[in-house]
C-alpha cells in the first residue's frame, strides 16, 4: 500500500520543482517598454544587444500578431564568467528577455535559469548572479514612470 503513495508524493515533488522565470509587467506600449528596459539595463552595466521583432516578422508573413519581441541583453564579462564556470553557459549568452504585450501593457520575463542551476550545480553561483541582476533590472523597469 505504501508504493502508490510514495509514487504520488514523488510526482507532486517533481511538479513543485518546476520553476517560474523572473518577470515584471506594467502599462505602456512596446516602444516605451523598450526605452525603459534600455535605461534599466544601462543602470546595471548591461547593454541591449539585439531586439528580435517576432511580432513584425510574423505579421509580415501573413500570420496573426503574437505581440512578442525577444530582447537579447548582456555584459562583456559574462563570456569570461561562462568560460570559467562552465562553457555550456555560452549557450545562454546573450541572455534573453521575452517582451509580451497583454491587456495591461508589456510583460518582460527572463529564461528559467533555475533549470540550468539544477542541471549544472557548479555553475550555480554565476547563474544566481545573472538572475539577481535580471531581477534588479526588471524591478527598475517596473518602477519607471
Size of the site for another protein (CB under 8 A): 46
136 binds another protein (CB under 8 A): no
Contact 122, 86 (CB under 8 A): yes
Determine the Cα–Cα distance for residues 130 and 79; give it in Å rounded to an integer: 12
Instruction: Give the nearer residue to another protein in terms of CB position, either 79 or 135.
Output: 79
Instruction: Report H helices in 25-145.
Output: 30-43, 54-60, 77-85, 113-119, 124-143
Please count the residues of the chain. Answer: 145
Task: List binders of another protein among 21-80 (CB under 8 A).
Answer: 21, 47, 49-50, 52, 54, 57-58, 61, 63-64, 66, 68, 70, 74-76, 78-79
The β-bridge partners of 69 are 99
Contact 37, 106 (CB under 8 A): no
Which residues would be at the binding site for another protein (CB under 8 A)? 1, 3-4, 7-8, 10-11, 14-15, 18-19, 21, 47, 49-50, 52, 54, 57-58, 61, 63-64, 66, 68, 70, 74-76, 78-79, 87-88, 90-94, 96, 98, 100, 111-112, 115-116, 119-120
Amino acid at each position: 500500500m505504501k508504493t502508490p503513495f510514495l509514487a504520488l508524493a514523488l510526482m507532486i515533488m517533481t511538479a513543485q520543482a518546476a520553476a517560474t522565470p523572473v518577470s515584471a509587467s506594467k502599462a505602456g506600449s512596446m516602444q516605451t517598454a523598450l526605452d525603459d528596459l534600455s535605461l534599466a539595463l544601462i543602470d546595471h552595466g548591461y547593454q541591449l544587444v539585439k531586439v528580435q521583432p517576432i511580432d513584425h516578422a510574423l505579421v509580415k508573413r501573413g500570420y496573426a500578431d503574437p505581440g512578442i519581441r525577444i530582447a537579447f541583453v548582456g555584459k562583456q564579462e559574462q563570456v569570461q564568467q561562462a568560460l570559467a564556470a562552465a562553457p555550456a553557459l555560452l549557450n545562454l549568452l546573450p541572455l534573453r528577455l521575452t517582451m509580451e504585450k497583454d491587456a495591461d501593457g508589456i510583460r518582460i520575463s527572463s529564461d528559467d535559469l533555475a533549470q540550468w542551476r539544477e542541471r549544472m550545480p557548479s555553475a550555480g553561483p554565476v547563474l544566481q548572479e545573472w538572475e539577481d541582476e535580471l531581477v534588479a533590472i526588471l524591478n527598475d523597469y517596473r518602477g519607471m514612470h
